[in-house]
Amino acid sequence: MIEVRNLVKKYGNHLAVDHLDFKLESGKVYGFLGPNGAGKSTTMNIMTGYLGATEGQVIIGGRDILKEPEAAKKQIGYLPEQPPLYMEMTVREYLEFAADLKKIPRREREEAVEEVERLVKVKAVEERLIKNLSKGYRQRVGLAQAVLGFPDIIILDEPTVGLDPKQIIEIRELIRRLSKEHTVILSSHILAEIREVCDYILIISRGKLVASDTPENLEKMLGESDTVEIETETEPAVIEGALKNVPGIERVVVMEKTDGIIRAQIHEKKGEDVRARIFSAFAGRGLTLLTLRRLSVSLEDVFMELTQKETVPEAFIKKQKEIAASRTEEQPDVEDQDERQDSAQAEPKMEEDDPETVELRDEDGEEEGDDSSL
């Protein structure tokens, strides 16, 4: 269990983390979601003891990260946004070094390193210098370092940034596999990524926690959308004519025409339901409708609503409270666990590339600056 209490971080006058308060249960996958600059990395750096807080507390498995840093940190594996890789070391040397830092006993070291090398598929490149690896491989090495020793909690800051789609799928599968036995916390500014793997999402905006719930509940919070979509074979000018005098319509947006079918979105004025009126308007003129439906609210809408505006909409806060109140107990339901089991059984498909085809970095010095992060 992880507890973050009233966490504040100021950089000079800038409030990067603004009174964050949350508890995370063991065994789930949590996603920190927020736009760039929201305060995700700062929060993770504080949670892992890499950065001091201005105010507040972080308790990891009952241990305060400041008062008992060693006991607290021992439970965490961390992949920071810029993994602290030593460019002049080989993969194997680096992982053995990391095992040393984690105080993995000497006799278990070989086995521990072998195990993570197999898990993230870097065994084939273990003799290569890290500086000669591609971004994807470096990210795997960083991940191997985080997972080494299999701490209870694995924290990954934007683990898929800079990776190609295939590598992203591989990392995602690895996260699913790890989630079987570990609490995983990952951050991303990309919604689709978080929704794929997380049981629970914490949306952070301007240093504040603006929402935290399951993806499904978050979608419920905005209520119904105010957009009705129609499909028809009627020409745009005729659609507009038919809808012109229908009360409650804010505006009509004709979307596209495919195979002679036109799709249009009708935005309603606040509190109106214009579906029946649209139907009558069309039927009254002898026009046909192929589809008439209210669009559903997507997690995307929720994310935009919460992170683009200065304040969280009141309706959202109200709904959030209602859902929290109606929730009986905070226990993961059985269905969830079954799903987890299924995906965990599937072997991750991270492919072990032939070492000969491992992409090598251009010797153009473009990445020289990386050494500064050591």
**Residues 265-284 contacting ligand ADP, CB under 6 A:** none
Query: Is position 188 an interface residue for ligand ADP (rule: CB under 6 A)?
Result: no
286 φ/ψ sector (left φ>0, alpha ψ -120 to 50, else beta): left
CA distance 322 to 221: 9
Stretch touching ligand ADP by CB under 6 A, among 11-19, 249-257, 298-306, 316-324: 11-19
Stretch touching ligand ADP by CB under 6 A, among 29-37, 69-77, 317-325, 346-354: 29-37
State which H helix or E strand residue 154 sits in: strand 153-157
- Which member of 4, 24, 29, 41 binds Mg ion (CB under 5 A)? 41
- Which member of 7, 20, 24, 34 binds ligand ADP (CB under 6 A)? 34
β-sheet with 2-11: strand ranges across: 14-24, 2-11, 55-60, 63-64
Query: Is position 205 an interface residue for Mg ion (rule: CB under 5 A)?
Result: no
35 φ/ψ sector (left φ>0, alpha ψ -120 to 50, else beta): beta
Query: Is position 2 an interface residue for ligand ADP (rule: CB under 6 A)?
Result: no
Query: Is position 201 an interface residue for ligand ADP (rule: CB under 6 A)?
Result: no
Query: Is position 45 an interface residue for Mg ion (rule: CB under 5 A)?
Result: no
- Which member of 31, 39, 80, 151 binds ligand ADP (CB under 6 A)? 39
> In sequence order, which residues have a C-beta less than 8 Å from that of residue 188 and are 6 or more positions away?
31, 32, 33, 158, 160, 194
Stretch touching Mg ion by CB under 5 A, among 76-84, 118-126, 171-179, 214-222: 76-84
Angle at 344 between CA 153 and CA 47, to 5 degrees: 15
The torsion of the CA quartet 316, 318, 319, 325, rounded to 10 degrees, works out to: 140
Query: Is position 11 an interface residue for ligand ADP (rule: CB under 6 A)?
Result: yes
> Which partner, ligand ADP, Mg ion, none, binds residue 38 by CB below 5 to 8 Å per kind?
ligand ADP
> Which partner, Mg ion, ligand ADP, none, binds residue 7 by CB below 5 to 8 Å per kind?
none
Taking the complex as a whole, how short is the minimal distance between the CB of residue 24 and ligand ADP, in angstroms? 18
> Which partner, ligand ADP, Mg ion, none, binds residue 37 by CB below 5 to 8 Å per kind?
ligand ADP
- Which member of 2, 33, 38, 53 binds ligand ADP (CB under 6 A)? 38
* C-alpha of 306 from chain center: 15
- Work out the burial of residue 96: count CB atoms within 10 Å of its CB; fewer than 13 is exposed, 13-18 middle, 19 or more buried: middle
Burial call 284-315: b when 16+ CB within 10 Å, e when fewer: eeebeeeebebeebebebbbebbbeeeebeee
Query: Is position 159 an interface residue for ligand ADP (rule: CB under 6 A)?
Result: no
Nearer to Mg ion among residue 68 and residue 81 (C-beta): 81
Nearer to ligand ADP among residue 9 and residue 182 (C-beta): 9
Stretch touching Mg ion by CB under 5 A, among 15-23, 73-81, 287-295, 354-362: 73-81
Query: Is position 83 an interface residue for ligand ADP (rule: CB under 6 A)?
Result: no
360 DSSP 8-state letter:
B
> Which partner, Mg ion, ligand ADP, none, binds residue 370 by CB below 5 to 8 Å per kind?
none
CA distance 90 to 95: 9
Nearer to ligand ADP among residue 36 and residue 357 (C-beta): 36
CA distance 98 to 285: 74
Judged by the rule CB under 5 A, the positions of this chain that interact with Mg ion are 40-41, 81
Judged by the rule CB under 6 A, the positions of this chain that interact with ligand ADP are 11, 14, 16, 34, 36-42
